[in-house]
Amino acid sequence: MFKKVLVANRGEIALRVIRACRELGVQTVAVYSEADRESLHVRFADDDVCIGPAPARDSYLRIPRIIAAAEITGADAIHPGYGFLAENAEFAETCAASNITFIGPTPEQIRLMGNKAEARKTMQACGVPTVPGTPGPIDDPDAALEFAKSIGFPVIIKASAGGGGKGMRVARDAEEFLRSFGLARSEALSAFGDGDVYVEKYLERPRHIEFQILGDTHGTVIHLGERDCSIQRRHQKLIEEAPSPAMTPALRAAMGDAAVRGAKSINYVGAGTIEMLLDSDGSYYFMEMNTRIQVEHPVTEQLTGVDLVKEQIRVAAGEPLSVSETPELRGHVIECRINAEDPARGFQPSPGRIDVFHPPGGPGVRLDTHAYAGYRVPPYYDSMIAKLIVQGKNRDEALRRMVLALESFIIEGVTTTAPFLAKVLEHPEFREGNFDTKFLERELTTILQQPA
């Protein structure tokens, strides 16, 4: 096992990783920007190093500074958390070159899945269904248009180097396609330094279903069930739950098999997520693979009883997974991401001092947060201040517990999305489990107009 792990992140995930290290008897190092000096991850770690000014590009994204912090403190491994450098193949390579274990998959696996067109090909090669689309990147507008006509409109143009909704454009006819195609290519080039795009049939109202994967260096790859992440706004997930209300045991077996087959085909090591689209007719397609621990991982932890962050650390140290098959899925789990944002003002960030902080509790309630009374939410990073995770014996009990937990969560000083989330949970279509990736966009004004 490692002696000392450097946590290359901030906020709630840095705390989450420090806790897992503690349980494993591993020492920890926090790195922090000048804006995070007062953060809990700095206080909870055994050692801490300031790595630069507030902007992430000058601190949390600076590879040489993080490597130097590990060397100075004698850390033998680095956990990247999510975001920042978590899916940066060059960072994983630099760790290896410095004799530091990167807690995650190999640089090759990160790079392969980071290219969404290559990831599609890899999945097709092992029989995982993908949305009908071009065999790879396509650069000639006329050839691309001919292809779009052959599969039929609407289509979606996606950047190979994109992902998570960045660099996507939907086209509903030939004229719009030609306009969007050129724009998509130049946007991809300026955003990612790679102008490659590919074209897929656009599914109008799919559900976003993702499978949690764990692999070890001994050849075991398993899935831990799905999460339904269809409740999103501008590609930011707001609510995640498991099991998916759209799932059946037979569909889970088929989709889970496909996810494991895909991960096995690249000898995947560590925690990863296979994102799929589930169409209203029950057909499902691989969309992309995330090679990191995800924000919503606690949903799966509560449903299965498996500590995913401890598994990541064990696997990186060469140990076998502590579970060899999909565990029993226990009841129903929902997660709400609580952001310091004002829904009434277009979800504008609401940074500042949290004056009062009274967290909810009770049976089946978990709160992953770095916030406390007196904490100042900095304006430099994403605005998530807490993840509220609630479990019940079934979906109805989990929903009731979540509404009560949101209503009894007292936060003063910053505006949060908690009251908005409670209203989403009370929407009749959400209650019925009848929603898709377009639900929030469609119902936003109705929900905003509801009284609290």
In the complex, minimum distance from the CB of residue 367 to ligand MV4, in angstroms, rounded to a whole number: 26
Check residue 56 and report its DSSP letter. Answer: G
Cα 317–chain centre separation: 24
Contact 321, 165 (CB under 8 A): no
Q: Which of 74, 127, 136, 165 binds ligand MV4 (CB under 6 A)?
A: 165
Contacts of 6 (CB under 8 A, 6+ apart): 28, 29, 31, 66, 69, 70, 73, 75, 77, 78, 79, 100
Whether 292 is catalytic is yes
Q: What is the CA radius of gyration of the chain?
A: 22
Considering CB under 6 A, how many residues would be counted as binding ligand MV4?
A: 17
- Enter the tokens of residue 249: 């045991």
Closer to ligand MV4 by Cβ: residue 164 or 245: 164
In the complex, minimum distance from the CB of residue 20 to ligand MV4, in angstroms, rounded to a whole number: 27
Closest CA to 437 of 165, 249, 132, 131: 165
Contact 122, 108 (CB under 8 A): no
Closer to ligand MV4 by Cβ: residue 206 or 360: 206
Helix (H, G, I), strand (E, B) or coil at 236: strand
In the complex, minimum distance from the CB of residue 212 to ligand MV4, in angstroms, rounded to a whole number: 16
In the complex, minimum distance from the CB of residue 416 to ligand MV4, in angstroms, rounded to a whole number: 23
Closer to ligand MV4 by Cβ: residue 135 or 320: 135
First-residue to last-residue Cα distance in the chain: 50
Closest CA to 163 of 273, 348, 289: 289
Q: Which of 28, 160, 212, 232 binds ligand MV4 (CB under 6 A)?
A: 232
Q: Which of 55, 129, 164, 349 binds ligand MV4 (CB under 6 A)?
A: 164
Closer to ligand MV4 by Cβ: residue 43 or 442: 442
Closer to ligand MV4 by Cβ: residue 79 or 208: 208
Closer to ligand MV4 by Cβ: residue 132 or 359: 132
User: Using CB under 6 A as the criterion, what x/- string covers residues 100-139 for binding ligand MV4?
Assistant: -------------------------------x--------
- Enter the tokens of residue 87: 């899916």
Q: Which of 303, 437, 439, 447 binds ligand MV4 (CB under 6 A)?
A: 437
Helix (H, G, I), strand (E, B) or coil at 126: coil
Burial of 323 (0-12, 13-18, 19+ CB in 10 A): middle
Closer to ligand MV4 by Cβ: residue 3 or 438: 438
User: Using CB under 6 A as the criterion, what x/- string covers residues 267-306 for binding ligand MV4?
Assistant: --------x-x---------xx------------------
Q: Which of 138, 156, 171, 340 binds ligand MV4 (CB under 6 A)?
A: 156
Instruction: Give CA–CA dist 228/209, Å, rounded.
Output: 5
In the complex, minimum distance from the CB of residue 104 to ligand MV4, in angstroms, rounded to a whole number: 20
Could you say whether residue 235 binds ligand MV4 (CB under 6 A)? yes
Could you say whether residue 422 binds ligand MV4 (CB under 6 A)? no
- Enter the tokens of residue 431: 């209650």
- Enter the tokens of residue 152: 């039929």
Check residue 345 and report its DSSP letter. Answer: G
Contacts of 395 (CB under 8 A, 6+ apart): 241, 245, 332, 433
Instruction: Give CA–CA dist 105/268, Å, rounded.
Output: 7
In the complex, minimum distance from the CB of residue 439 to ligand MV4, in angstroms, rounded to a whole number: 10
Q: Which of 16, 227, 292, 401 is catalytic?
A: 292
The DSSP H or E segment spanning 285 is strand 284-290
Contact 297, 270 (CB under 8 A): no
Helix (H, G, I), strand (E, B) or coil at 152: coil
| Region 167-226 residues binding ligand MV4, contact defined as CB under 6 A | 200-203, 206, 208
Closer to ligand MV4 by Cβ: residue 101 or 437: 437
Specify the length of the chain in residues: 452
Contact 297, 311 (CB under 8 A): no
Please report where in the chains the tokens 């494993």 appear, as a residue: 24
In the complex, minimum distance from the CB of residue 443 to ligand MV4, in angstroms, rounded to a whole number: 14
In the complex, minimum distance from the CB of residue 106 to ligand MV4, in angstroms, rounded to a whole number: 22
Helix (H, G, I), strand (E, B) or coil at 119: helix
In the complex, minimum distance from the CB of residue 350 to ligand MV4, in angstroms, rounded to a whole number: 24
Closer to ligand MV4 by Cβ: residue 208 or 332: 208
- Enter the tokens of residue 223: 């899935």
Q: Which residue is nearest to ligand MV4 (CB)?
A: 437
Instruction: List contacts with ligand MV4 (CB under 6 A).
Output: 131, 156, 164-165, 200-203, 206, 208, 232, 235, 275, 277, 287-288, 437
Residues annotated as catalytic are 292
